[in-house]
Copies of this chain bind each other. A is one copy, B any other.
Amino acid sequence: MNSDKTNQIWIYDTTLRDGAQREGLSLSLEDKLRIARKLDKMGIPFIEGGWPGANPKDVQFFWQLKEEPLTQAEVVAFCSTRRPNISAAEDPMLQAILAAGTRSVTIFGKSWDLHVTEGLKTSLEENIEMIRDTIEYLRSQGRRVFYDAEHWFDGYKQNPDYAMQTLESAIAAGAEWVILCDTNGGTLPHEISQIVKNVVTAISQFPISNSQFPTPQIGIHTHNDSDAAVANAIAAVMEGARMVQGTINGYGERCGNANLCSVIPNLQLKLGYSCIQDEQLAQLTEASRLISEIVNLAPDEYAPFVGRSAFAHKGGIHVSAVERNPFTYEHIQPQQVGNLRRIVVSDQAGLSNILAKARSFGIDLDKGDPACRDILRRLKELENEGFQFEAAEASFDLLMREALGQREQMFELKGFQVHCDIVQNANALATVKVAVNGKDILEAAEGNGPVSALDEALRKALVNFYPEIAAFYLTDYKVRILDSGAGTAAKTRVLVESSNGHQRWATVGVSSNILEASYQAVVEGIEYGLLLGARRNDRRNPSPTKI
């Protein structure tokens, strides 16, 4: 298979099957289809869709894709070898995998003698027969077969002769790929290197009885229990593996599978292998975030390559150096994986941070402008009070506009009360008085806590003046007690994330009264949302993160 292109690595995505084993993750049929289509666009050649014999939802998935096929990727069905002591043709699970109608199928079988005798409760000979019979049967039905050697590394360490016999059986029966799996995730890179090297040597010497098949290629499938899944996949590739199985964002059982968002850029940008096209690689960050939205899990902001913090820089000297020569502080160029360099604003901020930040908000600011020093001074004052703008860029944008005299007062809060009677009724009642265009409005609302009551009352008061507020909602709300040793009298920092359905932005408030801090953040969230609406037609201004 493409043996001329020795630097080609075939990526095999198993987000939809092994990834879905992650605790807390569940995928609807629609989710699975959306993810498959995104992977297809990304140029992933193989997408494992599920186990049709074990899961009715997976059967539907394959049917749907037959009606509306993917453009390039090959979708692969997954199944175990046949059960002991029946023939392959009699096994209903194998009938189900044939019914899925894919050109290729992945069959997993046992490599570890202990799992054969203790798990399957059959003889070592019967296991080898199960592998042979299953693969031969599927080949006779016109399928290409990928063989996943489950528990390969543990099995090989315990009984290398038997493990190699299972592989020989799979290859003789016509498996085109044999994938070595570190199922328990306990193997370390140096062991992976040594064992893959041994396998490559051994396979080249196999007396393949069935000469109609070419020598199969080797793949690798790793789990992250030792925090080394990515390094393990790379180690295997460097010893000759040409397929990597993994998942987007490293989703998977226990600690997850090899994260393709790390495997692909490492192989392609650092080691000169070819996995997907460069333009597709430049969509990696977007794919990672989209898929985390589809599965409804918060993206890992600290993820290598694709995380929001992956190319974030703090500190003044550091920032001017990275802008002069990114190579000094960045291991790859963020745009190669579709990510962005971010200059983090924090109490270590220098002038160059402020300038870079202003540019990213579409604000023209000159180094000589006295407003720069004002912003810096104000920033340091506020951070000293406990404000933190790293995660509240919308509040920082408003702060800059205020210093530049560009912040328009859209409404003024004139009164705000909250009342809670916890024993009688867990709901809270909020009353607000707001002035808009010189007119006072009084509104009240209930909520299941004081902050949601306040948010509700405020939006009720303003929606007649700013109808777009109807589409705003809070997507996240975080509280941190500063100087927490001071107990309940300590200062509270509240971070609020808001959305209008298209964009998200974050604001911050600080006070020793948690309600006041929440109020500040909620009010700035509404103000910034209105500002975004006003800016929408202004192309010079970049928008905040798209959902």
> Chain A residues in contact with chain B, CB under 8 A?
21-24, 26, 28, 30-31, 112, 114-115, 118-119, 151, 184-186, 188-190, 224-228, 230-232, 234-235, 238, 253-256, 259, 262, 266, 270-271, 296, 298, 301-305, 307, 309-312, 314, 317, 321, 324-325, 327-332, 344, 388, 390-391, 413-424, 426-428, 433, 447-452, 454-455, 473-485, 487-490, 492, 496, 511-516, 518-519, 522
Contact = CB atoms under 8 A, between A and B. Distances in A.
Contacts of A450: 418, 420, 450, 513-515
A475 B479 contact: no
Given A228-B234, A298-B485, 11 more contacts: A114-B328, A227-B304, A296-B480, A296-B484, A298-B484, A422-B513, A422-B515, A426-B513, A427-B513, A476-B487, A514-B514
**Interface of chain A, helix or strand or loop or mixed?**
mixed
Contact of A488 (B254, B317, B477): B477
A28 B390 CA distance: 17
Contacts of A417: 419-422
A418 B419 contact: yes
A407 B165 CA distance: 55
Contact of A310 (B254, B317, B479, B488): B254
Nearest to A30: B485
12 contacts: A23-B301, A23-B390, A28-B483, A31-B484, A118-B321, A189-B189, A227-B266, A228-B234, A255-B303, A296-B480, A414-B423, A479-B479
Nearest to A515: B420
B328 A254 contact: no
A417 B488 CA distance: 17
A23 B226 contact: no
A417 B425 CA distance: 10
Contact of A328 (B115, B228, B511): B115
A231 B222 CA distance: 14
A238 B426 CA distance: 59
B479 A226 contact: no
Contacts of A489: 447-449, 452
B226 A262 contact: yes
Contacts of A325: 114, 118
A513 B331 contact: no
A474 B487 CA distance: 5
Contacts of A488: 447, 449, 451-452, 454-455, 474, 477, 496, 518, 522
